[in-house]
Amino acid sequence: MHLNTTQSRALGDVMRLLAEAADGDALREALALPMLELLAADQYVSMVWDAGQERFERFTALNMSAESLRQWDLHYRFVDPLTFAMMARRRPTVATQILRQPELQKTEFFSDFLRPERMHWGINVYFFERETAVGDFRIWRRRQRGNFEANELELLRMVEPAIAAALGRLHWERSAAPSPQACERAEELLQRSAHLSPREAEVAWLVACGCPDKQIARRLAVGHPTVRFHLANAFRKLQADNRAALASRVQSLVELQRQALGRTAVN
């Protein structure tokens, strides 16, 4: 795949931002300009789907008005024929793969929302960590640029796994990562009651907290084979056949300890 100078620089910026990222929302905001340069596009919008509330939140955008984003949330999301269909595909998708351009141009969504912002050709990608949506890119071009082509769709497919991994890691650290104090208590318990080594206890506890193997390896600064080795030992010592059983066993031990400490405090 041939990249011009602007695209090569933009791709380098994307990879650098992913490596340095410490916050998912800040990352999505920082990726706006390099993603527009990479795909030769004009407008960038990124949101995060909240499955519990059944709506998108944490909007960030480049070259799109705040009022348009507000109006999308208030009204146009209900008549938007693209977003949920593209999200369901779970892969980078050009808008015309969902709805032919002449048909899209007949809709209220196009005439009253897209056209005033000069958004004519679209491409979207929705990032998932397992079944949890952790962010999206909605990238649009003005009419004169022409539609996104196969090589540009392939570019988005190329960077998608790395972006999804970074957003997934940051989402876990934001919403599910245990406190250092909780880690210390749980790991000490697993070493004492299940005879796990310090590293086995770390791995088992992170699994119980929902941390994927890749993130465990990154968090502990070890390789994936090392994680799998310690995980296998934890399976054997805790008599668990799989991750779900291991997580259940670890959480049960932690809960029993919490209850015991509660009784001690009462007495």
What one-character-per-residue DSSP string does the chain give? Answer: ----HHHHHHHHHHHHHHHH---HHHHHHHTHHHHHHHTT-SEEEEEEEETTTTEEEEEEEESS-HHHHHHHHHTGGGT-SSHHHHHHHTS-EEGGGTS-HHHHTTSHIIIIIIGGGT--EEEEEEEEETTEEEEEEEEEE-GGG----HHHHHHHHHHHHHHHHHHHHHHHHHHTPPPHHHHHHHHHHHHHHS---HHHHHHHHHHHTT--HHHHHHHHT--HHHHHHHHHHHHHHTT-SSHHHHHHHHHHHHHHHHHHHHHHHH-
5-175, superfamily in CATH?
GAF domain (3.30.450.40)
Could you give the C-alpha distances from 92 to 147, 197, 219, in angstroms and in order?
14, 43, 29
Whether the per-residue pLDDT at 266 is higher than 60: the answer is: no
Which CATH class name applies to 180-259?
Answer: mainly alpha
pLDDT tens-digit profile of 3-25?
899 999 999 999 999 989 989 99
- Token pair for residue 93? 């998708």
The average pLDDT across 230-246 equals 91
- The yes-or-no verdict on residue 267 having pLDDT over 60 is no
As a whole number of angstroms, the distance between CA 181 and CA 96 comes to 51
Domain ranges across the chain: 5-175, 180-259
pLDDT at 265: 54
Q: What is the pLDDT of residues 26-43, one digit of tens each?
A: 999 999 999 999 999 999
